[in-house]
């Protein structure tokens, strides 16, 4: 599954935020990262076919107990050893 997160940059109430918004692809690849301490925007393309492949081979999803993930993602394939 791709991971996209946005971080604040600048300061607020004497707390400094570094920024560094980042997009990580479903296989763990870096799809883009914003510079630290600079306001910026990033864009990333995600091939949804890679999501299905990553779900099949990612042990954290493959080995998770079905009753935990089935209510939110019922179509994840499960491989049994």
Res 63: pLDDT: 67
Burial label for 23, CB within 10 Å (0-12, 13-18, 19+), is buried
> Which of 14, 18, 11 minimizes the C-alpha distance to 37?
18
Res 59: pLDDT: 66
Res 47: pLDDT: 81
Q: What is the mean pLDDT of each run of 10 residues along the chain (81 residues)?
A: 84 91 87 90 84 73 69 67 51
Res 6: pLDDT: 87
Is pTM beyond 0.85? Reply is no
Res 22: pLDDT: 92
């Amino acid at each position: 599954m791709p991971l996209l997160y946005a971080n604040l940059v600048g300061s607020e109430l004497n707390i400094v935020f570094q920024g560094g918004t980042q997009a990580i692809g479903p296989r763990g690849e870096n799809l883009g990262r914003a510079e630290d301490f600079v306001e910026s925007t990033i864009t990333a393309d995600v091939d949804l076919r890679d999501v299905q492949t990553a779900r099949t081979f990612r042990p954290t999803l493959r080995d998770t107990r079905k009753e935990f993930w089935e209510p939110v993602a019922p179509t994840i394939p499960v491989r049994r050893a």
